[in-house]
Amino acid sequence: KVRCSRLAREVWDDEELAGRLEREAAELKERFNRDFWIAERGYFALALDGEKRQVDSLTSNIGLLLWSGIVDDDKAASVAEQLLGERLFSGWGVRTMAKGDAGYNPIEYHNGTVWPHDNSFIAAGLARYGFREEAARIAEAIFEAARFFDFRLPEVFAGYERERTGAPVEYPTASSPQAWATGAPLLLIRVQLGLEARDGELEVDPVLPPSIATLSLRGLSGAWGKRDADAVEVLTGGR
């Protein structure tokens, strides 16, 4: 609704529709943060059951909430802490379900594995709320995992702890190549370089993890013409 409101205002010149969509989005955000937030645990419920009770499984979905922008600002730090905590973060990426949950299994498709594309959206969500170093840590983990797959990330891999295995464990039936896994590094690179197209200009605000000394993209084309994006040992934001 937020994106469509911008489309309505800037392209269709429909201020009435834009205003209605913005109001509906604000109301949805308010209801969501009220009904799904589990204050005593510091994260959002996975769902509401048939009686509107919170399903309290801790999953990677909370990172996608950051990406969507629906999370209230005062809850974002707690969500970020959960994502990088030992229950969700395996060392190779964020698991789909947290270690210790009743349904957790590091080699079950939705209940404990690591999905590269899922992690790219989580990194983008963290960056959206200002957690750039945390986003860089996730990018670093996925890129390091890629080395063990000949730099062709699979659809999914097991969620075992990095300290336990020393290498990401293959998921037996993962597709490779797989389209959305292939797209994950592109979004992770964008997140690390802090690339944003805004008002016809390309903004570059890089934050790199310690293991990446330089990162460059050449000839990025857009309304700004062509521009290079470079980062050299940037551990905090800055152009």
Tens of pLDDT along 172-193? 999 999 999 999 999 999 999 9
* 54 lies in some domain: yes
Whether residue 239 has pLDDT greater than 70: no
Residue 196 main-chain phi, psi, to 5 deg: -140, 130
Same domain (yes/no): 26, 44: no
The three-state secondary structure class of 55 is strand
Both structure tokens of 171? 């998921």
Report d(CA 79, CA 82) in Å as an integer: 5
Both 106 and 6 in a single domain?
no
Instruction: Examine residue 211 and state whether it is found in any structural domain, yes or no.
Output: no
What is the tally of structural domains in the chain?
A: 2
On whether both 154 and 64 belong to a single domain, the answer is yes
Q: Are residues 24 and 110 in the same domain?
A: no
CA distance 125 to 65: 7
Clarify whether residues 18 and 51 are in a common domain.
no
How high does pLDDT run on average in the chain?
A: 95
Give the Cβ contact number of residue 91 at 10 Å: 17
Q: Using alpha carbons, select from 152, 146, 150, 151 the residue that is nearest to residue 177.
A: 152
pLDDT category at 208 given cuts 50, 70, 90 is: very high
Angstrom distance (rounded) from CA 126 to CA 30: 20
Residue 61 and residue 25 share a domain = no
pLDDT at res. 235: 57
Tell me which H or E stretch contains 3: helix 2-10
* Domain span holding position 96: 39-196
Query: Is the same domain home to 46 and 86?
Result: yes
Residues 6 and 73 occupy one common structural domain: no
